[in-house]
Structure 1
Amino acid sequence: MKTISTEKSYGGTQGVYVSRSEACDCDMTFAVFVPPQASEDNLPVLWYLSGLTCTHANVMDKGEYRRLAAELGVIVVCPDTSPRGDHVPDEPDNWQFGKGAGFYLDATQPPFSVNYRMYSYIVDELPKLLAEHFPVDMDRQAIFGHSMGGHGAITIALKNPDRFRSCSAFAPISHPSVSGWSKPALQKYLGADETCWRAYDACSLIEDGYRFPELLVDQGSADSFLEDGLRPRELESACAAGGIPLNLRMHEGYGHSYFFISSFMNDHLRWHAERLKK
């Protein structure tokens, strides 16, 4: 692991790092904010997964999480959204696929199956790196994200309920196997057999018996992607049928951007911190 940069912020350290990923067969960049309390004890970890077109830097620059994370004593980890590099297959003119659009899955279709293994990177590889290099309490983890990252957070939590104490999302892609936003990407990454898509679809996972204790979802009513891309009411129906408590909060007039995310970031931080207590 190499350090790209570190900056002091609210008594803690905001760092950006790069390491070679075996899962993605490329160098992967990620950001970690370590609060000042880490000098005395290992701290809980909150994973933030970003959305389409983003890198680790979007939430780091616009998410406004550091002040409260420092106060609460929570480490915030912000991975990239896809593999990177000249050798990584991509569709540069398609913002919904390829670089910046890894969908937090393990691709099975060539040529994408070599590099697009973001599920394994987030679930298996990066946690080991964090445990080795940072003052983390890996028994206290939580996960949240935005849009594609909200999809990633919920699907990862559903499949790993013993690892994460809590899960929340901002405007998640709730039903990607039927969404016009994401269906083409799933076909390219996972093949034409739609039964293979269910492992990376929150609504389908819940239908197939996966469970999580509770979910918090914030959604802007003025989000231009609300009906086709995001489909929060379908997640609401799936959770109701599966007996999963879902707090779906609709916010009048808010869109899909970081103006929306930053407005409710503190709510999510406090919600997770309460569930990450020893």
Structure 2
Amino acid sequence: MTISALTKVSEQLCFGGRQIRFTHTSTVLSCDMQFSVFLPPQAEHGKVPALYWLSGLTCTDENFSSKAGAQRIAAELGIALIMPDTSPRGDGVPDDPDGAYDFGLGAGFYVNATAAPYATHYHMYDYIVTELPQLLEQHLPLSDKRAITGHSMGGHGALVIGLRNSERYRSISAFSPICNPVACPWGIKAFSGYLGDDKSQWQQYDASVLLAVAQDPQPLLVDQGTADSFYPEQLRTDNLIAAAKQSAVPAEIRLQAGYDHSYYFIASFIEQHLRFHARYLFD
């Protein structure tokens, strides 16, 4: 794979580390992409492990970096934060025909699209799993120790990518993930558009399907707020809990009373998630 150079867009000092935004030309997505990185102070002296954050519908690489308050703990622990965009962007990248928020731009769903006209650009699965880590580990002081997390659509992406690539990620977590997309309106719309009508192809991108047959997966932590307006219809957390019981996987899936779907929820528990991942990134 051809690895393009990084172009730095901005950089700020943050808790002794560096918050940086980059652009590059993606071969996998056939467009220019942007992403953000927090490098902790420890990166000045050697390679550090990385936690990949996948954001939700309508988000970009900047939502988590500006709202979650994760940099303070990441700086303490010595963990880099990697924050990609949520879809391909730019001229020629097709959007939802009706301009809806839940498909197309800002809504890549972390799949490899096979249906026209999305198959040319919407390969977010390969971008997250292969192209972006290869690019970053070549150009930045990152080790090959990785963990993955995310929110909502990004929580779906983190669960699916982590479960399907146990050799690449040491731990998995998620906030308010879309747990069973083959059985919820968001997922059905996205998979129909990106993957077509063959529902057998949808199963590979469904965390509940994958977890139900998982054998010795990585440590897994999920937080879901009970006051979330998308719970349970869109998120289907109960189906993920049932899948974990079916496979006897010791996943920690927590229902947090009174919390909603917002970044206030994420900010409330992000320290616990970072410390959870640190246990496995530094063992």
Q: Structure 2 length as normaliser, TM-score?
A: 0.96
- Pick closer, same or farther for the CA change 1:210–1:229 going to 2, 3 Å: farther
- Write the distance in 1 (CA, Å) between the matches of 2:115 and 2:149: 27
- Write the distance in 2 (CA, Å) between the matches of 1:115 and 1:211: 33
Residue among 235, 252, 265 paired with 1:230: 235
1:196 aligns with 2:166: no
| Greater Cα shift, 24-33 or 87-96 | 87-96
Aligned equivalent of 1:56 = 61
Aligned equivalent of 1:221 = 226
Residue among 164, 186, 189 paired with 1:184: 189
* Structure 1 stretches of at least 4 aligned residues deviating more than 3 Å after TM superposition: 207-211
Give the secondary structure class of the aligned counterpart of 1:223: coil
| Greater Cα shift, 193-202 or 209-218 | 209-218
| Greater Cα shift, 85-94 or 205-214 | 205-214
One-letter amino acid of the structure 1 residue matched with residue 230 of structure 2: F
The alpha-carbon deviation at position 97 of structure 1 amounts to 0.2
Residue among 90, 107, 117 paired with 1:111: 117
The alpha-carbon deviation at position 240 of structure 1 amounts to 1.0
The alpha-carbon deviation at position 214 of structure 1 amounts to 2.6
Q: Structure 1 length as normaliser, TM-score?
A: 0.97
Matches within 5 A, 1:72-87: 72-87=77-92
Q: Is 2:213–2:247's contact at 8 Å kept on the other side of the alignment?
A: no
One-letter amino acid of the structure 2 residue matched with residue 156 of structure 1: I
Give the secondary structure class of the aligned counterpart of 1:228: coil
Aligned equivalent of 2:35 = 30
Residue among 249, 255, 276 paired with 2:260: 255
CA offsets, 1:151-203, max 9 Å, x none? 00010011100111100000000000111122111001001011100011011
- Write the distance in 2 (CA, Å) between the matches of 1:205 and 1:194: 15
Aligned equivalent of 1:6 = 11
- Write the distance in 1 (CA, Å) between the matches of 2:229 and 2:86: 22
Aligned equivalent of 2:74 = 69
- Write the distance in 2 (CA, Å) between the matches of 1:210 and 1:198: 17
Residue among 126, 129, 132 paired with 2:132: 126
| Greater Cα shift, 246-255 or 45-54 | 246-255
Give the secondary structure class of the aligned counterpart of 1:144: strand
The alpha-carbon deviation at position 208 of structure 1 amounts to 4.7
1:273 aligns with 2:278: yes
Give the secondary structure class of the aligned counterpart of 1:27: strand
- Write the distance in 2 (CA, Å) between the matches of 1:189 and 1:210: 28
- Pick closer, same or farther for the CA change 1:65–1:248 going to 2, 3 Å: same
| Structure 1 runs not aligned, ≥5 long | none
Aligned equivalent of 2:48 = 43
Q: Is 2:172–2:218's contact at 8 Å kept on the other side of the alignment?
A: no
User: Root-mean-square deviation (CA), in Å?
Assistant: 1.1
Q: Is 2:170–2:219's contact at 8 Å kept on the other side of the alignment?
A: no
Give the secondary structure class of the aligned counterpart of 2:182: coil
- Pick closer, same or farther for the CA change 1:82–1:219 going to 2, 3 Å: same
One-letter amino acid of the structure 2 residue matched with residue 56 of structure 1: D
- Write the distance in 1 (CA, Å) between the matches of 2:248 and 2:166: 15
The alpha-carbon deviation at position 227 of structure 1 amounts to 1.3
- Write the distance in 2 (CA, Å) between the matches of 1:209 and 1:69: 30
The alpha-carbon deviation at position 93 of structure 1 amounts to 2.4
| Greater Cα shift, 210-219 or 184-193 | 210-219
Aligned equivalent of 1:136 = 142
The number of aligned residues is: 277
Residue among 247, 256, 259 paired with 1:242: 247
- Write the distance in 1 (CA, Å) between the matches of 2:232 and 2:170: 30
1:90 aligns with 2:95: yes
The alpha-carbon deviation at position 206 of structure 1 amounts to 2.6
CA offsets, 1:220-268, max 9 Å, x none? 1000000111011100000111121111111111100101111101010
Aligned equivalent of 1:206 = 211
